[in-house]
Structure formats: structure tokens, C-alpha cells
Structure 1
């Protein structure tokens, strides 16, 4: 019986460039019983799917390459079977223990000290971070090598006879760790690494009496690696900052007492108090209180949102005004922030088509560079009588120029920065392939309810007949108190907005399929459909036409009777989102066609479509939406389907890109390729803009990497530049490419116009 597969996540320190990630990936894949390996440079993580291979053996293999490695917290304790295609976050979150080792009576609650980090949050363990860059292992080695070079220079000036040996010793101070990594990489499947090129070039320089240059080249290489680590650390910090949004402690209410506990101890159903100025310690539903909540840290929404009873709040958002009582709906490992962090890190581990192409290209490129360097070093002396020292020197310089680091990092650095920038603004994308494809979309099919509209009806018209509009709304609100029906919620919300306090109702009840009844102030009240009302009170022709007109506008009309006399009409409709028209206009500006696909009736769809200027296709079943998406693809369109991630699942799966609209629910994140966290239509256009901006950045990076190499290759061969400029070209290109990619972290996107 074969061993069940499990997924283990590791944190890898010191892995700051694409070459590092490639060595780690190759070495771990060569281990027996390892099925799949995903490595993220920016996240500093590695996820391994294995069956039978020990997690300790995997960690030891990576450690042998020169990287500090630990297994992240939160790994599944039992050997869970892994379905093909399942991702690490799903396994971690599903296996999470929600008991948190504390009983629900909370009898032993006590104040807690703020922990150093949130353990167990999908395994996001940052314990290997060494602190400031100048305290890292790479920094210490670089400083030691710099001091050695300085001592060699001073010693050479004082005692010229020892100068060559002094520089050789200084070179070996920095080269020994590099050579060791080159050797370990070679025996683990990566013989053509940058460390190999560096080792060959430095030792070769010694043999042609260029020990001083060899020492300087090694020092410059270490400085370049250090700069790469600093730049990569900046992107890594942007991800870690997301997890840090969640407060360490929470005020939990138990038996009328408020006790400070660790936010990690909160379980679903707990009640927490959130004071003005505090961050939400968990996802939850407001049960009492009213306040403005700043959701910018999670959704990027610039304007605080009013929150009251029954409204949803997200972990990490900031309560601004009044105290709120919140019922927890997700434990620490499953809250919105944890899911976003997990999604971004896992997305960074998946490779875009451009990145995969460059990875394959580099496998042939590096050996090719070594062959070209060898030919440059050997052919002119052999066949043209040129001096050996001069051409071996040039060959070694070409070897350094040919290092593929800048080229290989050009794509993943940009994609990682873009994924992080998008996540901080509520745009979640599952990997580089999705990010790259979004910019090619030219057809967007949108669901109506919950996508183009808010997903909940609102009162649009109040028409007084025998009573005033205020009386009509007041009577209706009195009947609907305590009901959770969407139409009742809309009436009560409108009454509250108009400052109407519902009156006390007696003998309240519902008549199946017709409406609700009750007695208010001694008067018999009925609120229901026009057909039900017509059975009791006559509706004149003018009133009937008015109701038909409301229906033509996609509105649901209810008739209010008071003592069997028509008092008025209340009409409701699921209204378009505030930014829907603007968002559709931006999609068209980007060159995408738009169409509405909805299961709603034709009349309502036509009314919403007309108000937004979009073609409606109505009364569609899930399979109909899937079929239409397939037809668009058959016409050569690159199709994005936008829906709520549940009833649109077949169409989301059929589209080139499926985008879930909503509040970051599990089903939305699992079903679609991407998700718009705060439900703005304009953010679909923002995703496309971010994709195109990222691809332009990647193009710039590749041009920088190849352009600098081509320039210095020519100048080296004609004798203008040598070893120092060669390593500076490589280091400079890598730093420039990384810095250019990091500019994407500042991407803001479009916001709806006021």
C-alpha cells in the first residue's frame, strides 16, 4: 500500500535570487518520493508534496546547499491524502485544529503577553528572519572579505613582495563559501550555477597573475548578493506586513466580563469588544454598536465604511469611532488576512509562462556562455598566435558577464511585486500565469446579482395613495420587524435611514405566497404582491399601469392595504453598484467587450442592462452560462467570467480567467482564478491594468539584463573592459532589474470617481 502524500511548507533563509531557487528546486526534486516542489524567492518559502520522504531529510538537503531551513508552523499533523491539483493552503486550512486547546466556557481566561508573531497562520512562520540586513550571514561575510581586501592592499603597499599572496588569501576568504555552494550545487544537479562561474573565474584569474582583480571581483560579487538580499527582503517585508495587520490580542467577552486574550485563541462564535482605534482581531459579524471602519489595510477602500448590526467586518481593519461587539466567524488561520497571505505566497510559487520560458532558456544559456568563454580564451592563442594571458583574461570576463541572474530574476521579481501590490488593494490572483493572462482579456462576461449589482434589494420608490409616503413606509416597517427576508431588510433599512421608528404590531403573521399581515394602532395592515392585494381591494387602471411600469423597470412592487383600502406602493430593486457604469466604461477603454449573463428574468435584466449600457442575456441556467462562455472562446476571444463563485462555478471554470466578486469567501477563493475582495467593478479593469503594467515592467527588465550583457561582452572582447566591469555589469543588472520590479509595489490602481 503506497504512502499517502502530504504537503510540507518550509521557510528558507538566504535564498535571495532566482539561481538560489533553481538550485533548491533541483536538489529537492532529486530526492526519492518527492512529487512536486514549488519555490518562491520573494516569499522565501518552499512547498513540497511528498509521499514517504521525511520532512527532516528535505530540510537537511536544502541546508547542505548553504541555506538555513526550517519547517513552517501549521503543517498537517496527520498524513492527509492530497488530490491532484490541490494547493497547500487548502490542506493547511482544512486540517487546522479549531479547538485551540481552550474550552468554550473560557473559565481559565487570563491576560496574555503579546506574542512575537502569529503562530499557525497557515504556516507563515517568519522566525528565521535575522533582523537588519547588516546582521545577516551574507553581510558578515561581505564585511570580512572587505576587511581582508583592505588588509591585503595595505600589506602590499608596505611589503610589495607579499602583495600577490595577500590578495590570494583575501580572495579565498570570500571564495571558499562560494566554492562550497558551487560544489554542493554541482553534486545536487546544478553544475552551471553563478557560484560555479564565479569560482572558475576567480581561480583562473590567480593563474594569470591577476590575484588583486580576483579578490576585488569576489568582493564585488558578495556585495551584489547582499544588495539582492536587501531588495528581495523589501518585497518579502510587504507580504509579512499583511500578516502583521492582525492585532496580537483581543478583548473577549465571557459571562459579562471582558478579558484580554491572544487573538489566536479566538474561536468561531466568540464575542469580542473592539474599541475605537483598535484593529479587528478576527473576521466577524457586528452584533451591536455602530461605527466607521477603515478597511483600507485589507481592501484598499479609501473611504471608511459605516458598520452596524449584521454587517461583516474583516480582521486587520480599523474601528474609528464607536465601540463594536463582534461575533467571530473565522479562526486565526482562516481569516481574510491569513487567506490573502497564503494565496499571495502560493501564487508567487507558481510560474508564469514567461518565467517558465526564461527558466528553460537559462538552462541552455549558462552552459552556452561557458563554451563561448572557453572558445574566446583558447581559439585566438591557438590559431592566431595571440597572447594567452590576454585572451584567458577576456574569457574569464565573458564568463562573469554571462551570469544569468539578472535575466532569470527579471520575471519572478516583477510578478511577486505585482501580486503583493494587488493583494494589498483587494485584488487576489492565483499565480503569475493568471496575472500574465489578465492583460490579454478582450471579452468580460459579468453576472448581474452580486456582481454588477450589490446583491441586496433597496427601496427605490414609495408611492402614497390614500396615505402619505411616510405612513406607507412606517406601516410596512412595522410589519417587517424581526424578518430576515431580503425585501424586509430593505424596507427596515430605508425606514432607519428616514428616521422612522417602527410602531408596535399585534397579531403579526404571514400568508403563504401572498404577504404579511398585522394590526398597528387598531388598523388592519396587509403588505403583499399586487395580485394578492387585488383579491381584497380594487386596483384602478392608473394604479395597475403604475405597477406595470415599475415592473418594466425591473422593480418588485408590493401593495400596502390599511383596513382593506390601498394605502400605497413600495417598490424595490437590486440596484447597480455605485461604480458599475464607470467600471464597464474602463473595461471598454481597455479594449474589452462586456456582456451580462444572468439567471434573472428578462424584464429585470433588460432594465439593469439599459441603465448600465450593457447587453443582457437573461434567464440562463449555470450550464447556459458555461455554454455561452465556450462560444465566446470558440470565436477566438480571451474570456474573463466574473461572478460570485458559487452558482457561476461552471462558467468560471470554463473561462480563460474566472474572477470571483465579493468578500474573499472560501468558495470565491477556491473556485476562481482571481478574486475582487471589495466587490468593485472597476477593480476588474484594475486587474487588467496591473497585468499590462507588470508585463511592460518584465520587458524593461529583460532589456536591461540583456542590453548590459551585450554591451560589456563587446567591450570586453575588444579589450576596453575587464573583470571588474564584468562583475559590476552582472551585479548592476541584477540590482537594477530587482529595483525596477519593486516599483510595482507602489502601484495604486484606479479608484471610483466621487
Structure 2
């Protein structure tokens, strides 16, 4: 899902195209926000750069269906989750359009929004149910605003989340519910009291608390309580075990083991009851069945060990998983809760929630900024590492942007607030990262589908093992019942199910702390297999700001040439003119008194100084005035081949000097490209609209392997497609809306400078918050490490299960060993995934 700004617009063809100040429409932006809606090659169903008309119609809009068809109907807007391709959107549209009373349906796959036109408002509540039947989740945008978010403790894997969803989803006062195991978040739209929701969750063996510091502290106390019951169960188990070596009666030893089962097994048994009631088959059901079965056949020690190891394993898993979830929550604590705001010429402390746009804040040295803003007065260095990941503080002066959560290193600043607390850059980062952590990666989706089939099959197999062999006369009932119970324990695919999401959460959290936004597990996996990287030159590899590279004088002094140039260029806003003015200012060269300033379209400018006409412009300007350039032609050509733009200074009769202006390479560019090659990037490619000479010079200086020069925006798209046809997964790195078509075409779109542009944060797959490439090698290395760890987790989980299954039938695997293998494997998978949190840039 790409653009948050565009989600509120029902259509794509016109309204979703951003409007510029003069009212024109930017087709490229439209293409970017709707990018990857269709699989590669289906260009007829979405924008392509060759199209010049202001349209961006998807296939469903072209069909003639849509809200515009009947503007008088009742409209309702929903968010739709679960769509993984545009055909899903088409399925929803076709199905709902057949529903009586529905006049029109428009589903946007790119934004995940659905607009439904209805004859009667009574149909409003039935829409989510109809969508759910199709295998998707629909939620009213209005109800989403009134929903509450809770933190849930005690979930061990995705099946726990499903149990909570099914239990609360069946409650008449709950409209919608969504539980995400990876982040521990539960979003509920309901008409109940908060405490009633918490009690319902506690009924099924979990703990819930509203997302605030007070409730989170309460949840920590609750976790300690569950750890106490585990400890008590362990004490009973130890007493029973050592008691078996004493003359204690057998009944007393069994009673101690039974006490351990009841104490440690109460919570999972209660959870198992509600799981069965809601139609789920989770690990609590399997473990409770194994413990009860062991007790029924007289294996009290086995039952007690199953319960204790399961409870202990859950406690350790919960604490480990919570550490990965906290990888992004820690960002929330970066911003102060109070701001020092000017009120009637006095500075007063206000909660950040009460601060309004255009209020003025005072930020003292060493303080964190509470909100985003613009500096009104004062100069300082600001540590922006929490937002951009930049290692060095950035110098700031009046007019510069500053961000909430960053640290004012020295010098007091007065800052005008530009964004409310919920709209700050860091708030957007937290929101986008949490959304990203909740999106399933392809590997995770596959594993979930596999587990949903695997668990019922093994459960059925366990029942058959308990019944068929003894009926057929192969061994005793007790022997096969025991093996069936062990098989039940092995049936739990906990380690396999959490093998991917914990790794994804850890990697995305690590990236966010280093100033990189990865929009979801899909893009993390894509980044891990990228073989070719294409860079836009201007503003990405280079500063994008031309600077004076060389000044040459012919008969006049260099200072005089620069003073004449500054005098004329001060009346121009062209970037080249600004670079010449800055160069002269740095050398304290004042302008002359000039008159009769005039622009020469496409060639330069002129002015009269002390009665003489002077000109500043390109060689063509002087050739048109028949000024001879023979003596300097060779020098001009040499400088142009080096990538410089030539500005000549002179009169109608002679050239007094030349100024060579060139775009400078970013300080971090060469280092970043070298690091990309070190992490295994096969090809680095540069795309530029500049001439071949400039492209070659930049390529040689930066170390890129290949370049494409003299490109228009649509040519950049073709260059990306050419690389894709060569069989390379391609990433495109750009710095703005001009690169949108190429960013959309590439397998992975990476935008730079996200901290300064909302568009970049919303449209790209991966966003480098800093305005440089410093964190790009870290992103690729992190993604590749994440892929490696996911593969390790999946294979380890499968091999552990297979080994356990093979050991059951010879009688080599006891019940408690099966539990130890299951919980141990899950814990190892979690700890292996947590290594991603420690990878440093």
C-alpha cells in the first residue's frame, strides 16, 4: 500500500493525481502511488511513462464501474486487508456488486481502500461480513478511528492470535477485531468497556492492556504472576521427583505430580477450552490433551513434566519475543511529553498534545525536540540519528526543518511548530514500521498455509495411532496411547510458524533505528535478492547543486571576471547563477553597480557596467554575436568532456574569462558504492539525463560499473526494464517525484531523503530517511542476513519435527522430551532471529 495521502480520494483517474500550485497534474506521481498494482508486463492496466494524458486508470475503473456512475447513492469507505494482487480487488468488486442493494463498488488494490455505493444505509453493517466470506477483512474507516489498540501478552504463535480473534469476534458487542502475533497488537472496534475487553481476553488465558505506559506496567506485573505459577509447578515437580527415591507412598508422589499439573496447566487448559469453543486447534489444545492423557494412563511424572516444560518454555518465549517487539516501541520514548511554548511573551510548559501548529517552542542546548518545526531564530548542531541514522550532527540555522525526537546539541533555538504530535515524522515512522511488521512476507504466508494443513493432519494421525494399532492387535492400548500423545505434542508447529515473523520484526526494527524504513516483509525479502542497483545521478549520487569548479581569465583578472558575473547573475534565480553568486560571496567579491539588466532567453543575461555592455552565458550566446572562440575552443571542449557546464563572461567584442560549473559528488557516495560491492551487489548502474562526457566522468569518480546517459524520464524506465530482461532483480534509488516512473518499474523502489518529503515516505518500498546513501549498504546486508536466518529457522524447525516423528515409533521419544524439543526449538528460532537486532551499520 503506497500513498496515505491519496487514500481519501475515491478515484484514480483524476483525483488521485497530485495537484501542483498552478493546478496542473503530475502524472508521474500518480504512477508511483499506484505502482506494482499490476504484475510486470501488464502496462495497459496502469500508468506507463509513454502516456502523456492525465490519467492513471486501473482495470477496474476502465470497466465503467465506480462511484461516479451513480453520485446520488449512499457511499461508505472501508479498508480491505488480505489482498495480495489486483485480481483480489476484482474478486471483491464482482462479488459485492451481485449483492442486493449495492449500486457500485470500487476497490483500490494499491491503497487497500474500498468505496461502496448503497441504496440503503442498513447494508452498511453487512459489508464486512460479505467481504470476510471471500477470505478478506474489511473495516469501516469511521469505525477504525474509534477503535482501540491493546497490547496482548502471552501469545506464543499465530494460532494464539487466531484463538483471540475467533473468541472476541463472536461477541455481539465487538464489530471488528484484528490480532497480530508479530507486534503483539490487538485492534478492536467495540461498544464495550475497556475492562470488559481485557476480561474477555483473560478468559482465554492471555493478558491485554491499552497501549499506554500505565497499562504496560500492569501487564508486566501480570507476567510475573504467571511466572510464579510456573515456579510453583516446578516446586511440586521437584518434590515429586525426589520423593520417588524415598519411602513416601505412591499416592502422595502422584498427588505432588497432580498438583504440578493443576498449578502449571490451569492457564493452558483454560486457553485450550476457549480455543476448541472457537474452532481453533492451537498448541494449548495439544499440550492440554497430552497432559490429561498422560494422567489418565497413570504417567503422572510425564504429565507434570509436559506442563512444567510447556509453561517454562512459554515464559522464556514471551520474554524473548517481547524484546523483538520493543525494537520499535523504544522510538516512542524519544520524544518529550512536554514542550516549552511561548504564551503572552512568557515561556510555559505544555503537554505536546496541547501544542498547536504555528506555536513557538524554545529548545535549550541538550534538549530533545518535542515536535517537528522550522527554526525561527538561533543556530545549532542537531543530532538527527533517531530519525535519519546519520552519524554526525547536522548544522541548523533559521529556515531549516527540525524533527521531533532529535537532540539540540548546542545553542538555544526558537522553533515554529509545523506538525501536530500525531503527524510528526517520528510518529509516521512508528506507524509505518508497525504496519510493515504486520504485513506477511511471502515466506511467512507459505509457512502459515503449510502449518494450517500440517497441524490437522498430524492431529488426525495421532488419533489413528491411539486407536488403530491396538484394535488390530499390535501392542497394548497404553503403549499406543502414549505414542499418540507424544505425536500430539510434536504436531504443534510453533517453531515453524514463528520462524519468519520474528525475524521480519527484528530486521525491520533494526532498520528503523538506523534511519531506514522497510515497508514490509515482502520488500525485506526482495532487498535480499537484488543483484543490480540503478541510481539516478542528480541529487542521488551527486549533491544536485552545481558548484563552481574552475575559473579561467583571458587578459582580465579572475576577480574582475567573477565580480562582473556576480553583478549580472544576481538578477537570476537559475541554479548555475546561484552557484556563481555563492562562489563570489565566499571570496568577498562585491558586485559592480550595473544597469539595464536583461535576460537572453536560453543563452544567458546581460547588464551595463560603467557604460559598457557585459554578457554572461553559454558559448552559443557569444557565437551569435560573432565573438571568436577559436583560442579557447579546445579548453572549452576539455572542460565539457569532464562534465562541466561552461559560462563565458565578456563583451560584444571579446571573452574576458570562463567559469566551469559542475555538480559535485556527495562525500558518502563513493564509500557507499564500495560497501555495496563488498556485500555482494553484482552491478551498480547510473542513470542520467546529462551528456555522455559528464556521465563518464561521474561514473569513473564514483566507481559505478555501467551508465546510461542522455535519458528522459521514460528512458530511465526502459533502462530498468533492460536490466530486468537480463535476468537481474533490480532496485532503483531516486530522490524525488521525477524518478517515480523508474521507481515504480523496478523490482524494488528506494527513495532518499524521506525525512524531508512525505511523498518519498509514502510511495517507495524502502525509504532512506537521510538525504544520502550512507545506510543503503546496511539495508542490503541486513536484508540478506534476514533471508539467511529465515531459511535457517525454517529448516531447523522442519528437521526437528521430522527427527521427533521418527523417534516416536521406536519408543525413543518420551512425552517430556517431545515438549522439550518443541519449546526448545521455538526458543532457539526466536534467539536466532534476535541476532538481527544486533547487526550494526
What TM-score does the superposition give when structure 1 sets the normalisation length? Answer: 0.80
Give 3-state SS (helix, strand or coil) of 1:724's partner: helix
Give 3-state SS (helix, strand or coil) of 1:444's partner: strand
| 1:455 match | 544
Q: How does 1:97-496 map to 2 (within 5 A)?
A: 128-130=215-217, 133=220, 135-137=221-223, 139-147=224-232, 150=235, 161-190=251-280, 192-253=281-342, 257-383=346-472, 385-465=474-554, 468-469=557-558, 472-473=561-562, 485-491=574-580, 493-494=582-583
> For residues 104-154 of structure 1, what are the alpha-carbon distances to aligned partners after superposition, in whole Å with 9 as ceiling and x for unaligned?
xxxxxxxxxxxxxxxxxxxxx566423684x234x3133134325535765
| 1:651 match | 742
Contact 1:596–1:617 (CA under 8 A) maintained in structure 2 = yes
Give 3-state SS (helix, strand or coil) of 2:529's partner: coil
Residues 1:661 and 2:763 aligned together: no
Residues 1:639 and 2:724 aligned together: no
Instruction: Tell me, in whole angstroms, the C-alpha distance in 1 between the residues paired with 2:501 and 2:788.
Output: 13
**Cα deviation, residue 653, structure 1:** 1.9
**Cα deviation, residue 258, structure 1:** 4.1
Match of 1:5 among 140, 143, 147: 140
**Cα deviation, residue 416, structure 1:** 0.7
Task: Name structure 2 gaps, 5 residues minimum.
Answer: 1-117, 125-138
Contact 2:167–2:274 (CA under 8 A) maintained in structure 1 = no
What TM-score does the superposition give when structure 2 sets the normalisation length? Answer: 0.73
**Cα deviation, residue 476, structure 1:** 5.2
> For residues 423-445 of structure 1, what are the alpha-carbon distances to aligned partners after superposition, in whole Å with 9 as ceiling and x for unaligned?
11122111111111112222322
Give 3-state SS (helix, strand or coil) of 2:500's partner: helix
Deviates more, 1:580-589 or 1:216-225: 580-589
Residues 1:511 and 2:599 aligned together: yes
| 2:795 match | 703
Question: Per the alignment, do residues 370 and 292 of structure 1 end up closer, same or farther by CA in structure 2, a change over 3 Å counting?
Answer: same
| 1:739 match | 831
**Cα deviation, residue 194, structure 1:** 0.2
Task: Name structure 1 gaps, 5 residues minimum.
Answer: 73-124, 750-754
**Cα deviation, residue 470, structure 1:** 5.3
Instruction: Tell me, in whole angstroms, the C-alpha distance in 1 between the residues paired with 2:515 and 2:432.
Output: 12
| 1:44 match | 184
| 1:630 match | 721
Residues 1:546 and 2:635 aligned together: yes
Match of 1:671 among 739, 749, 763: 763
Contact 1:249–1:281 (CA under 8 A) maintained in structure 2 = yes
> For residues 463-508 of structure 1, what are the alpha-carbon distances to aligned partners after superposition, in whole Å with 9 as ceiling and x for unaligned?
3445554565566567667976533543455456x46375697769
| 1:594 match | 684
Deviates more, 1:346-355 or 1:170-179: 170-179
Match of 2:778 among 686, 704, 713: 686
Instruction: Tell me, in whole angstroms, the C-alpha distance in 1 between the residues paired with 2:213 and 2:345.
Output: 37
Deviates more, 1:255-264 or 1:720-729: 255-264
**Cα deviation, residue 46, structure 1:** 4.1
Instruction: Tell me, in whole angstroms, the C-alpha distance in 1 between the residues paired with 2:653 and 2:338.
Output: 58
Instruction: Tell me, in whole angstroms, the C-alpha distance in 1 between the residues paired with 2:691 and 2:349.
Output: 51
Question: Per the alignment, do residues 142 and 35 of structure 1 end up closer, same or farther by CA in structure 2, a change over 3 Å counting?
Answer: closer
Instruction: Tell me, in whole angstroms, the C-alpha distance in 1 between the residues paired with 2:571 and 2:369.
Output: 28
Residues 1:722 and 2:814 aligned together: yes
Deviates more, 1:204-213 or 1:284-293: 284-293
Contact 1:174–1:219 (CA under 8 A) maintained in structure 2 = yes
Give 3-state SS (helix, strand or coil) of 2:217's partner: coil
Deviates more, 1:230-239 or 1:32-41: 32-41
Give 3-state SS (helix, strand or coil) of 1:574's partner: strand
Contact 1:478–1:504 (CA under 8 A) maintained in structure 2 = yes
Instruction: Tell me, in whole angstroms, the C-alpha distance in 1 between the residues paired with 2:574 and 2:202.
Output: 59
Question: Per the alignment, do residues 140 and 327 of structure 1 end up closer, same or farther by CA in structure 2, a change over 3 Å counting?
Answer: same
Question: Per the alignment, do residues 152 and 608 of structure 1 end up closer, same or farther by CA in structure 2, a change over 3 Å counting?
Answer: closer
Contact 1:228–1:735 (CA under 8 A) maintained in structure 2 = yes
**Cα deviation, residue 283, structure 1:** 3.3
Question: Per the alignment, do residues 582 and 336 of structure 1 end up closer, same or farther by CA in structure 2, a change over 3 Å counting?
Answer: same
Question: Per the alignment, do residues 628 and 540 of structure 1 end up closer, same or farther by CA in structure 2, a change over 3 Å counting?
Answer: closer
**Cα deviation, residue 363, structure 1:** 0.9
Contact 1:280–1:318 (CA under 8 A) maintained in structure 2 = yes
Measured on the aligned residues, the alpha-carbon RMSD in Å equals 3.9
Instruction: Tell me, in whole angstroms, the C-alpha distance in 2 between the residues paired with 1:450 and 1:524.
Output: 36
Instruction: Tell me, in whole angstroms, the C-alpha distance in 1 between the residues paired with 2:610 and 2:432.
Output: 56
Contact 2:173–2:192 (CA under 8 A) maintained in structure 1 = no
**Cα deviation, residue 417, structure 1:** 0.3
Question: Per the alignment, do residues 520 and 704 of structure 1 end up closer, same or farther by CA in structure 2, a change over 3 Å counting?
Answer: farther
Instruction: Tell me, in whole angstroms, the C-alpha distance in 2 between the residues paired with 1:369 and 1:421.
Output: 37
